[in-house]
């Protein structure tokens, strides 16, 4: 019971004096953003460790389909968790919610890396990956909730484009760590050393983060920025029930469903390439298995540049319209997959990974921003959870499904399905072309001060 009490939203306290507001808001926005950025990077340090261990596990006698089955445990539990935990996160304190998920994931990875015999049992590995997937589902929804409470609509595009770099950073650091520690220690170190690092950062996250502005004596972000959304202008700070969130805001929105279905195919491409890149390049292109972590570095580093580019394009070139950029990205990914498939040269395979990584993360980021654009902030976690549930379907197909495709139809069969997924995602994004930048109706701010704070980092 004490654990659930900790997860409850923090109580509102007496408002600070007007002269303290600007300094306090700026400080807490920096600290909360740092918390969710570090937090989500840490989640990714503990998410794809098994993929890096797969080439070594294949040498112990496991088949691709068996390892694909283990991989599929994460997206199955992740999808369920992200939806259920997303709804819970709308009614929880993200400060402790994020930390709780990280601690669970740390424990699972320590078991993988430190307890003898775990990696010899298929069913034990599946069970552990299922638990890890559930913990991982606790990461994104509270981060989106934090952005919704601390940043106004006109800021969220830029904020989210930077925040999304966190998972590229986390996955890229995992690849770099693997290249460093596997030759020095053992391949199991890819599980336990990142866990130790994450545990230390979890303490920092709890120190940095706070719940809502009102929990530290500040007014809501709409009042502070004097910037109000067209939707849900009344009772915007009222805590909603799970039923209200689901049936009044999320499930009845057709664009949420278009984006959710598109997510299935985008995530299939994302993880179909990323999860199997070490195995594909080792088996088909002759890459040394100890250097397979370079694929993660290329893929994730390119994703950082791609998300910043896509965020800028959607804000500036397309005036806040996200769908055209997503469509353009998927077309480029389509040709990147073709190059990755047919190129006999390692340099072109790396270029293909760079292209795919750079532009597959654009749609992933933009889908989240579209949700922030069309959902009230008290329903953001649930909407993100629903999209994550469908995205996990693509992840499951990429993990277990892609493994079976490759085993029974060869790599050619796997790449054909990747191409089809690119086409279907593009078509679904075209159905969201009518979603534009959210329009804002300014209301008279009830506060005697009406500060307009530029996005931190731009001054």
Q: Could you state, in order of their start, the residue ranges of all structural domains in the chain? A: 19-226+250-430
- What is the token pair recorded at 342? 């047919």
Cβ burial, residue 17 (10 Å; 0-12/13-18/19+): exposed
Work out the end-to-end distance of the chain between its first and last CA atoms, rounded to an integer number of angstroms.
Answer: 45
**Cβ atoms of residues 138 and 84 within 8 Å:** no
What is the pLDDT at residue 447? 38
Cα maximum dimension of the chain: 70
Q: Do residues 71 and 359 lie in contact, with contact meaning Cβ atoms separated by under 8 Å?
A: no
Position 137 scores a pLDDT of 92
Residue 288 has pLDDT above 70, yes or no: no
Residue 404: predicted pLDDT: 83
Decide if 267 contacts 394 (C-beta within 8 A): yes
How many angstroms from the chain centroid is the CA of residue 33? 15
For 19-226+250-430, the fitting CATH number among 1.20.1250.20, 3.40.50.410, 1.10.1740.10, 3.40.50.300 is: 1.20.1250.20
Residue 51, pLDDT above cutoff 60: yes
The mean per-residue pLDDT over the stretch 19-44 comes to 94
Is residue 41 very low, low, confident or very high in pLDDT (cuts 50, 70, 90)? Answer: very high
pLDDT over 50 at 367, yes or no: yes
Show the DSSP H helices in 250-292 as ranges. 254-274, 277-284
Check residue 326 and give its pLDDT. 95
CB atoms within 10 A of CB 23: 10
Distance, CA of 423 to CA of 435 (rounded, Å): 20
Q: What is the CA radius of gyration of the chain?
A: 22
Element (H, E) at 143: helix 140-150
pLDDT band for position 459 (50/70/90)?
very low
Q: Which residues contact 200 (CB under 8 A, 6 or more apart)?
A: none
| Euclidean distance between CA atoms 342 and 297, whole angstroms | 22
Q: Which two tokens stand for residue 445?
A: 């701010």
Residue among 105, 41, 97 nearest 385 (CA): 97
Q: What is the pLDDT of residue 456?
A: 38
Do residues 404 and 340 make contact, with C-beta atoms less than 8 angstroms apart?
no
Report pTM. Answer: 0.78
For residue 387, give the H/E element and its range: helix 380-396
- Tell which residue, 198, 201, 178, 231, has the closest CA to residue 106: 198
Q: State mean pLDDT over 259-287.
A: 83
Residue 440, SS3 per DSSP: strand
Distance CA 390, CA 275 (A): 18
pLDDT score of 68 more than 90: no
| Choice among 47-56, 281-290, 443-452 with the minimum mean pLDDT | 443-452
Distance in angstroms (rounded) separating the CA atoms of residues 380 and 384: 6
Residues 6 or more apart in contact with residue 369 via CB below 8 angstroms: 156, 157, 160, 161, 311, 314, 322
Residue 193 clears pLDDT 90, i.e. is over it? yes
SS3 320: coil
CA 164, distance to chain mean position in Å, is 7
Query: How far apart are alpha carbons 252 and 262 in whole angstroms?
Result: 17
pLDDT tier at 359, thresholds 50, 70, 90 = very high
Q: With bands split at pLDDT 50, 70 and 90, how would you rate the model's confidence at 40?
A: very high
Dig out the tokens for 19 from the structure: 């002269």
Mean pLDDT computed over 433-453: 48
Condensed to tens digits (0 to 9), the pLDDT of residues 137-157 reads 999 999 999 998 998 877 777
At residue 315, the pLDDT reads 76
Q: Say which residue, 131 or 405, is predicted with more confidence.
A: 131
Cβ(46)–Cβ(132) below 8 Å:
yes
pLDDT, averaged across the chain: 84
pLDDT given for residue 172 in this prediction = 81
DSSP secondary structure, 215-239, as one string: GGT---HHHHHT--BSS--SSTTSP
Q: How many residues does the chain have?
A: 459
Q: Give the confidence band of 132 by pLDDT, cuts at 50, 70, 90.
A: very high
Which of 123-137, 247-261, 306-320, 422-436 reaches the highest mean pLDDT? Answer: 123-137
What confidence score (pLDDT) does residue 453 get? 33
What is the predicted pLDDT for the residue at 377? 74
pLDDT at 424 over 90: yes
Average pLDDT over residues 164-175: 84
What pLDDT sits at residue 370?
A: 85
**Do residues 218 and 59 touch, judged by C-beta distance below 8 A?**
no
133 pLDDT more than 60:
yes
Instruction: Check residues 138 and 286 and name the one with the higher pLDDT.
Output: 138
Alpha carbon distance 191, 393 (integer Å): 25
Give 250-253's long-range contacts (Cβ < 8 A, gap of 24+).
250/375, 250/379, 250/382, 250/383, 250/386, 251/386, 253/374, 253/375, 253/383
C-alpha 414/C-alpha 282 separation (Å) is 16
Average pLDDT over every residue of 91-97: 90
* pLDDT classification of 135: cutoffs 50, 70, 90: very high
Mean pLDDT (whole number) for 278-286: 75
Tell me the C-alpha distance between 3 and 148, whole Å: 24
């Amino acid at each position: 019971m004490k654990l659930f009490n900790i997860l409850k939203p923090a109580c509102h306290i007496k408002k600070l004096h007007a002269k303290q507001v600007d300094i306090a808001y700026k400080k807490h926005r920096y600290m909360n953003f740092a918390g969710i950025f570090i937090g989500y990077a840490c989640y990714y340090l503990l998410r794809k460790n098994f993929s890096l261990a797969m080439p070594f596990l294949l040498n112990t006698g496991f088949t691709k389909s068996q390892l694909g089955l283990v991989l599929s445990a994460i997206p199955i539990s992740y999808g369920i968790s992200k939806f259920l935990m997303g709804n819970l996160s709308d009614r929880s304190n993200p400060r402790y919610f994020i930390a709780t998920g990280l601690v669970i994931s740390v424990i699972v990875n320590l078991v993988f890396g430190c307890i003898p015999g775990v990696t010899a049992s298929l069913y034990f590995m599946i069970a552990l990956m299922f638990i890890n997937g559930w913990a991982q589902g606790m990461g994104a929804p509270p981060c989106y909730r934090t952005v919704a409470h601390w940043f106004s609509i006109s800021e969220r595009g830029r904020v989210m484009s930077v925040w999304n770099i966190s998972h590229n950073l986390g996955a890229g650091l995992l690849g770099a760590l693997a290249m460093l520690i596997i030759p020095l220690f053992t391949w199991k170190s890819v599980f336990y050393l990142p866990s130790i690092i994450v545990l230390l950062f979890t303490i920092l996250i709890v120190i940095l983060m706070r719940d809502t502005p009102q929990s530290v004596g500040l007014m809501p972000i709409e009042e502070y920025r004097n910037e109000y959304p067209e939707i849900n202008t009344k009772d915007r700070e009222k805590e909603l029930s799970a039923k209200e969130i689901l049936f009044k805001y999320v499930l009845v929105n057709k664009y949420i469903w278009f984006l959710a279905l598109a997510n299935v195919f985008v995530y299939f491409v994302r993880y179909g390439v990323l999860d199997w890149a070490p195995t594909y390049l080792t088996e088909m292109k002759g890459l040394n298995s100890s250097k397979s972590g370079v694929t993660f570095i290329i893929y994730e580093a390119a994703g950082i540049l791609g998300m910043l580019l896509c965020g800028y394009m959607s804000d500036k070139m397309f005036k806040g319209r996200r769908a055209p950029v997503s469509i353009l990205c998927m077309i480029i990914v389509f040709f990147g997959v073709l190059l990755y498939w047919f190129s006999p040269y390692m340099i072109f395979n790396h270029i293909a990974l760079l292209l795919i990584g750079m532009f597959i993360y654009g749609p992933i980021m933009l889908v989240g921003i579209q949700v922030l654009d069309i959902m009230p902030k008290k329903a953001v976690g649930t909407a993100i959870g629903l999209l994550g549930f469908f995205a996990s379907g693509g992840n499951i197909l990429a993990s277990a499904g892609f493994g079976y495709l490759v085993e029974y139809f060869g790599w050619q069969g796997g790449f054909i399905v990747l191409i089809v997924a690119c086409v279907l995602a593009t078509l679904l994004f075209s159905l969201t072309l009518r979603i534009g930048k959210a329009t804002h109706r300014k209301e008279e701010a009830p506060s005697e001060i009406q500060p307009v704070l530029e996005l931190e980092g731009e001054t």
